[in-house]
């Protein structure tokens, strides 16, 4: 082995890499928030009796689940260009990840909705709540509790998938790493450090979710 490892250029750029790690976290969180919101709507829409509501939701969910995430990013990046909609790399990543998250979360939410007994909805309605009130105050809090664990997993996936931003020219952790690595040709060193940062981010999310679950689900 006659390769000399040079770690110094990587350590010099560590502040930039760490702040890019924060960008990764920001993009993943934002896409997750949009994804949870859209996923809830999709799950409700898929249980609708109206075909016009059910169909588009089903198409969204199946497309998100059955095509590569990279394809979805390319679609938001280049595909929409055909309709002269040009998004910035930041929005390509957020939109692509949110689309993907919503599709996967919708299936989890659907399972969660089915686990809430019908009798509770009837009880809430007979107490005089409107349908919307019933959903917001009775059903959705329980669904969020049931899908808490799948949701943390999805958050981890969102962080991992955000690395695809590198392929559409977004400078999150992977993109930034690629940028510096191609400047200095220290590919291995840079990406090894990036891998460690990703590992740390994932562990922090999982640990934080565990701590939050003690606080959230005391009862």
Partner 1 sequence: MSNTVSVFSGFQLNDIWFMAEAAGRTMLISAVSIVVGTMVGIVCGWGMNAGNFIVRSTLGPVLDLFRSVPLLIQLVLFYNFFPIIGWALDPFASGIFVLSLYTAALVTQVARAGIDSVGLPMRRASRSLGMSYWQDMRYVVWPIGLRAVFPAWVGVALSVMKDSALVSVLGYVELLRASQILITRTQEPFLILAVAGAFYFALSYPLSKYSQKLEERWAS
Two tokens, residue 110: 């659907």
Is 210 a residue that touches partner 1 (CB under 8 A)?
Answer: no
Quote the CA–CA distance of 154 and 29 in Å, as a whole number: 11
Quote the CA–CA distance of 17 and 7 in Å, as a whole number: 14
Quote the CA–CA distance of 105 and 55 in Å, as a whole number: 17
Is 65 a residue that touches partner 1 (CB under 8 A)?
Answer: yes
Residue 139 CB, shortest distance to partner 1, in Å, is 24
**Selected binder of partner 1 within 7, 11, 55, 78 (CB under 8 A):** 78
**Selected binder of partner 1 within 56, 68, 111, 207 (CB under 8 A):** 68
Is 55 a residue that touches partner 1 (CB under 8 A)?
Answer: no
Query: Which stretch, 13-21, 113-121, 187-195, 210-218, contacts partner 1 (CB under 8 A)?
Result: 187-195
Q: Alpha helices, DSSP H only, in 47-88?
A: 51-66, 69-77
Residue 138 CB, shortest distance to partner 1, in Å, is 28
Is 132 a residue that touches partner 1 (CB under 8 A)?
Answer: no
Is 192 a residue that touches partner 1 (CB under 8 A)?
Answer: yes
Residue 138 or 173 with smaller CB distance to partner 1? 173
Is 14 a residue that touches partner 1 (CB under 8 A)?
Answer: no
Find, among 210, 203, 200, the residue nearest to 21 by Cα.
200
Residue 97 CB, shortest distance to partner 1, in Å, is 13
Residue 217 contacts by C-beta under 8 Å, 6 or more apart in sequence?
Answer: 145, 148
The sign of the dihedral angle between the CA atoms of 61, 62, 68, 71 is negative
**Selected binder of partner 1 within 28, 32, 57, 69 (CB under 8 A):** 69
Is 81 a residue that touches partner 1 (CB under 8 A)?
Answer: yes
Q: What is the DSSP letter of 84?
A: T
Burial string for 183-211 (b: 16+ CB within 10 Å, else e) reads: eeebeebbeebbeebbeebeeebeeebee
Is 70 a residue that touches partner 1 (CB under 8 A)?
Answer: yes
- 3-state SS of the chain: helix, strand, coil percent to 5? 85, 0, 15
Residues in contact with partner 1 by the rule CB under 8 A: 1, 3, 62-63, 65-71, 74-75, 78-79, 81-83, 156, 159-161, 163-164, 166-167, 174, 177-178, 187-188, 191-192, 194-195, 198-199, 202-203
């Amino acid at each position: 082995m006659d390769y000399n490892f040079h770690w110094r250029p990587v350590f010099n750029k560590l502040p930039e890499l760490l702040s890019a790690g924060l960008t990764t976290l920001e993009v993943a969180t934002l896409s997750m928030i949009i994804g949870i919101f859209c996923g809830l709507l999709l799950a409700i829409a898929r249980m609708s009796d109206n075909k016009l509501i059910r169909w588009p939701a089903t198409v969204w969910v199946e497309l998100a689940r059955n095509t590569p995430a990279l394809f979805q990013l390319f679609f938001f990046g280049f595909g929409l260009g055909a309709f002269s909609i040009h998004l910035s790399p930041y929005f390509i990543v957020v939109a692509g990840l949110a689309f993907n998250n919503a599709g996967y979360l919708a299936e989890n939410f659907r399972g969660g909705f089915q686990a809430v007994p019908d009798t509770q909805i009837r009880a809430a309605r007979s107490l005089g709540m409107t349908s919307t009130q019933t959903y917001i105050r009775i059903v959705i809090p329980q669904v969020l509790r049931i899908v808490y664990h799948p949701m943390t997993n999805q958050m981890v996936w969102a962080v991992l998938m955000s690395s695809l931003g590198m392929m559409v020219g977004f400078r999150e952790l992977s993109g930034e790493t690629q940028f510096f690595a191609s400047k200095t040709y220290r590919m291995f060193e840079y990406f090894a450090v990036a891998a460690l940062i990703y590992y740390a981010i994932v562990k922090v999310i999982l640990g934080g979710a565990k701590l939050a679950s003690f606080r959230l689900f005391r009862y």
